[in-house]
Homo-oligomer: A and B are copies of this chain.
Amino acid sequence: MREVVIIGVGCTNFGEMWDRSFRDIFVEAGLSALEDASIHGEEIDALYVGNMSAGKFIDQEHIGSLIADYAGLASLHVPSVRVEAACASGGLALSQGVLAVASGYHDIVVAAGVEKMTDVGTGVAIDALASAADREWEVLMGATFPGLYAMIARLHMHKYGTTREQLAMVAVKNHLNATMNPKAQYRKEISLGEVMNSTLIADPLRLFDCSPITDGAAAVVLAPAEIARKHTDAPVYVKASAHATDTISLHDRRDITTLDATVHAAKKAYEMASIEPKDVDLAEVHDCFTIAEICAIEDLGFVPKGKGGPATEEGMTALDGKIPVNPSGGLKACGHPVGATGIKQAVEIVLQLRGEAGKRQVGGAEVGLTHNVGGTGGTAVVHILSINR
């Protein structure tokens, strides 16, 4: 397998973009990544695009062709592959793009993610998102995503003594980080009290425990190491790319407070990169709900099982903590355009590793991890990026 390098990254602003289309935002992210990589469209050998549900959000399938077309690459007949794994679609696009380059099949590959969620009403959007869960055994019984994660939170609180305040502290931290990210959807601080008193969604989760509905797109340009040198003086190496599944519905899991897909993908990723969790300097993890970040830092091995709440309370995951988590603001405050999220996580880690993250820069970071989840953990994708070969 060849070493794979990220030679360019691009990302749109995240938020409600009423004046821009799916096509517009994809092209913006893609062009921005190409410019960052100093390459032209005709050098691209293949496209991989993560998208969860353009069918439901904008009535459009055949996303690979659409994307190639609007990127101006259809006349070159560039192969373009859309992959879908619900909210892990972006991470999956990255993993498939990495496979295509590592294998020697393709040299220059753009891995992108895009979702335009605000063109439909909130009810339609929520129903589209519910299609990431088990429609027959969960959704038709009345479960929504906040409801499913609320059950995870309830059991986590019961088993490990995780407190309602500790959940809120995830949101407070990620909102603070987002104030330093000019592309974030919510660039404003919130207080512990504001989270604790926000509207109840699914007990114990409140409004500010939940990630928002977001429009956005992100892209990275991948190349094998030998070609990468021509394009960048700041290569970021993909040291590991791992993907695992689990049952789509919660009730079939051995323990709903542990996402086994995350545990398995992380284990594989650490083996591929020959590192341990303690070697990770910072991480972008899948905080679709505050409880999800607490489970993630446990399942990724940053803290022992059950200690995610106290670790958050003690500031371990803050920007100046031992392992900063979600410096971008995470899904919670940077926003969660579902198909784009996994790629945005990689964009953030690359900016951090290059020292280009502005006010939210984590000092001296050399190794970063991305963690992207589909549904309640039916899919998990973990990447480890490093400035060291």
Residues of A within 8 A of B (CB): 1, 21, 52-53, 55-56, 58-66, 68-69, 73-75, 77-86, 92, 96, 99-100, 102-105, 127-128, 131-136, 139, 243-249, 252, 260-261, 264-265, 374-375, 378-379
- Give this chain's copy count: 2
Q: Nearest chain-B residue to A379 (Cβ)? A: B65
Task: Provide the bound-state CA to CA distance between A74 and B254, in Å.
Answer: 12
8 examples of A-B residue contacts, CB within 8 angstroms: A1-B103, A61-B131, A62-B85, A64-B245, A69-B245, A81-B83, A103-B104, A103-B105
Determine the residue in chain B with the shortest Cβ distance to A46.
B243
Say whether A264 contacts B62, CB under 8 Å: no
CB pair B264 A77 closer than 8 Å: yes
In the complex, A77→B136 CA distance in Å?
21
> Is the pair A131, B59 in contact by a Cβ cutoff of 8 Å?
yes
The answer to whether A248 and B379 have CB atoms under 8 Å apart is no
> Are A56 and B55 CB-contacts (below 8 A) given A82-B83, A378-B66?
yes
Beta-carbon contact of A245 and B73 below 8 Å: yes
Once A84-B63, A243-B79 are accepted as A-B contacts, the answer to whether A55 and B58 lie under 8 Å apart by CB is no
Asked whether B245 lies within 8 Å of A77 as measured between CB atoms, the reply is yes
Inter-chain contacts of A60 with B (CB < 8 A): 131, 135
Distance of A55 Cα from B84 Cα, bound (Å) = 11
- Closest Cβ–Cβ distance, residue A104 to chain B (whole Å): 7
What's the Cα separation between A375 and B82 when bound, in Å? Answer: 14
A69 contacts B252, C-beta separation under 8 Å: yes
Question: Which of B66, B80, B99 has a CB less than 8 Å from the CB of A105?
Answer: B99
The reply to whether A74 and B245 contact each other, CB–CB distance below 8 Å, is: yes
On whether the beta carbons of A65 and B248 are closer than 8 Å, the reply is: yes
Instruction: Known pairs A60-B135, A62-B85, A65-B245; list 4 more (Cβ under 8 Å).
Output: A1-B104, A62-B84, A80-B245, A84-B84
Docked-complex contact A77 and B375, CB < 8 angstroms? no
Question: Which residue of B73, B86, B96 contacts A81 across the interface (Cβ within 8 Å)?
Answer: B96
